[in-house]
Amino acid sequence: MTSHGDQTNIFDVIIVGYGGAGAAAAIEASDAGASVLIVEKFGEGGGTTKMAGGNIRSVGDANKMIAHLDALTDGTTDRGSIEAHVRGLVDLPIWIERCGGVIRTDPSEMLGAPRQPGPPYPGATPGTMFPGVVGADGIGLRYRWPKAQNKGLSRGKAAWTMLSDNIERRRVEVLTNTYVKRLMCDHLSGRITGIVAEQGGKEIRATARQGVVLASGGFAWNKDMLREWIGAAIPSAAPPHRNTGEGILMAQAVGASLWHMNGIVLSMGMLVPGFDATFALKVRERGFILVDRGAQRFCDESRLAGHSGGMLLEDRDHHDAIWRRIPSYVIFDEATRLAGPITTTDAGFNLDSGWSDDNSMPVESGWISTSSSLAGLASKLGLDAQSLVTTIDDYNRGIETDKDAFGRSRMDANPIENGPFYGIAVWPTVYNTQGGPRRSAKGEILDPWGVPIPGLFGAGELGSIFGSLYPGGMNYGEAFVSGRVAGATALGVEPK
Ligand SMILES: Cc1cc2nc3c(=O)[nH]c(=O)nc-3n(C[C@H](O)[C@H](O)[C@H](O)COP(=O)(O)OP(=O)(O)OC[C@H]3O[C@@H](n4cnc5c(N)ncnc54)[C@H](O)[C@@H]3O)c2cc1C
């Protein structure tokens, strides 16, 4: 690539963003014979895809699954796009095997079985997050990436190694440390003809003969967009400063319609000094509660949901506009501290932080506050001491008599009696956003009248087909499926 538009800067397809969707689009386009350029703003690819759990929902019953996703998206996603997604999921294991990876359904998952009591909290949810919605039993078992068949790697790392190996093998050109800032557009025809990017302070341009695929992720790391579309600038567990929403702005600038801007995968996480991304919450023993800023409980903590638990924290006073549960606090006892890290150990940006299994490292670092008394803990957390003591007395009494105010069962609760006691603030945490340019079932980015913008395609969480009700385990599959579709459509072919 050169800094001036010459012959070397002309490709059939240009892909913006080297995460899962971008890599899948590049593999598909390259296999169809195209010359492909991937442009990535960071020094290496991977995006959220590499740090993620890598769980992919399989298709149990295609028609029921389509009905379920249709109901969850509530008419905001056309049926054709949902059908294309489900078809793509059916084909996905074969495509992954062709790429040298292996996914297998998790036999330990018991779909349809009642939840088994006990930690962790939140626990893995079998099937969809919305079992009461029509078609829920069409969602199949979760695919995982077995280490033994994926070069000793699992989850996002296994997936990413497979994808990046395929990109290297095909000798697809990848331009890293290059930030795409605009699309080039032929204003007479409205066709997208390439990209304008910045690399090391220099502007570069590249021309796309067939199309540009936007696969630059959502806006989990754009505080202004979060405020505008989600209502609060909440923190994220995704890789810091990668997915900052430029793809959305670029698409808007050439007339794209937007959809699903309020869709978000919202968990709970802890923010600690020196780390921009949150540590997602996972508690491994029963002796804990959550309290709000007034030291009051507000839920049955044993039923926290991994992908929507953060919704619980979105409670704003309608008079003084204060977020009463942002932050909230997890309060726990010594047995819970010793039972295992109170954060996830398998996905998220902070996996290598050194958070110890017995939580002693975050306690010694001052991330988790501790005191021999509840009143002492309250004062360290900035909570009202008497309120916290009363809340815990009430909780302990409720557990003992099996009459918890929020219905928490004794099977899922231990009294918080024996100190030292611990506490840390918990924030709603964005895993990923869903909003972005509206796209067709074939990955074409559409204008407000539903007409494809010539030469412009979208894939992955940038303009996901999912809206505000996210069933879980779908964005990963979507990155692969929609990437493949966009890469093929850009060349006027079907995915291979
Ligand atoms: C902790 C965590 C766990 C998760 N676990 C799961 C799971 O188990 N199952 C599931 O279904 N989903 C999961 N998700 C969500 C899922 O991983 C993502 O939605 C999916 O990987 C997104 O893929 P993508 O290719 O669209 O975006 P990404 O993989 O994020 O790639 C986007 C790339 O674009 C680059 N980029 C951005 N802007 C520009 C620009 N202007 N110019 C050039 N490059 C740019 C970024 O640097 C990035 O590399 C998880 C998310 C998180 C945070």
Which of 1, 49, 344, when mutated, tests ligand 1's pocket best, judged by the most ligand atoms within 8 Å of its CB?
49
- Distance (angstroms) between ligand 1 centre and the Cα of 189 equals 32
Amino acid found at 27: I
Query: Closest ligand 1 atom to the C-alpha of 20?
Result: 25
Which of 475, 478, 480, when mutated, tests ligand 1's pocket best, judged by the most ligand atoms within 8 Å of its CB?
475
pLDDT tens digit sequence for 102-135 = 999 988 888 877 788 899 999 877 889 899 999 9
Cα–Cα dist 111/117, whole Å: 15
Pocket of ligand 1 (CB under 6 A): 16-22, 39-42, 45, 47-49, 51-55, 179-180, 215-217, 237-238, 242-243, 246, 347-348, 431-432, 460-462, 473-476, 479
> Residue 262's pLDDT is what?
95
> Residue 2's pLDDT is what?
56
Cα–Cα dist 481/86, whole Å: 9
- Distance (angstroms) between ligand 1 centre and the Cα of 47 equals 5
- Distance (angstroms) between ligand 1 centre and the Cα of 184 equals 24
Amino acid found at 320: D
3-state secondary structure 211-239: EEEECCCCCCCCHHHHHHHHCCCCCECCC
Per-residue pLDDT of the chain (496 residues; tens, 9 = 90+): 655 555 569 999 999 999 999 999 999 999 999 999 999 999 999 999 999 999 999 999 999 999 999 999 999 999 999 999 999 999 999 999 999 999 999 888 888 777 888 999 998 778 898 999 999 999 999 999 999 999 999 999 999 999 999 999 999 999 999 999 999 999 899 999 999 999 999 999 999 999 999 999 999 999 999 999 999 999 999 999 999 999 999 999 999 999 999 999 999 999 999 999 999 999 999 999 999 999 999 999 999 887 777 788 888 889 999 999 999 999 999 999 999 999 998 888 888 899 999 999 999 999 999 999 999 999 999 999 999 999 999 999 999 999 999 999 999 999 999 999 999 999 999 999 999 999 999 999 999 999 999 999 999 999 999 998 999 999 999 999 999 999 999 999 888 8
Query: Closest ligand 1 atom to the C-alpha of 23?
Result: 25
- Distance (angstroms) between ligand 1 centre and the Cα of 300 equals 31
Domains, the chain, in order of start with CATH, read 7-263+434-489 (3.50.50.60), 266-430 (3.90.700.10)
Quick check: 446 and 474 in contact, CB under 8 A? no
3-state secondary structure the chain: CCCCCCHHHEEEEEEECCCHHHHHHHHHHHHCCCCEEEECCCCCCCHHHHHCCCCEEEECCHHHHHHHHHHHHCCCCCHHHHHHHHHHHHHHHHHHHHCCCCCEECCCCCCCCCCCCCCCECCCCCCCCCCCCCCHHHEEEEEECCHHHCCCCCHHHHHHHHHHHHHHHCCCEEECCEEEEEEEEECCCCEEEEEEEEECCEEEEEEEEEEEEECCCCCCCCHHHHHHHHCCCCCECCCCCCCCCHHHHHHHHCCCCEECCCCEEEEEEECCCCCCCCEEECECCCCEEEECCCCCCCCCHHHCCCCCHHHHHCCECCCCCCECCCCEEEEECHHHHHCCCCECCCCCCCCCCCCCCCCHHHHHCCCCEEECCHHHHHHHHCCCHHHHHHHHHHHHHHHHHCCCCCCCCHHHCCCCCCCCEEEEEEEEEEEEECCEECECCCCEEECCCCCEEEEEEECCCCCCCCCCCCCCCCHHHHHHHHHHHHHHHCCCCCCC
- Residue with the smallest CA separation from ligand 1 atom 47 is 242
- Distance (angstroms) between ligand 1 centre and the Cα of 57 equals 17
Cα–Cα dist 134/19, whole Å: 32
pLDDT tens digit sequence for 60-95 = 999 999 999 999 999 999 999 999 999 999 999 999
Query: Closest ligand 1 atom to the C-alpha of 462?
Result: 26
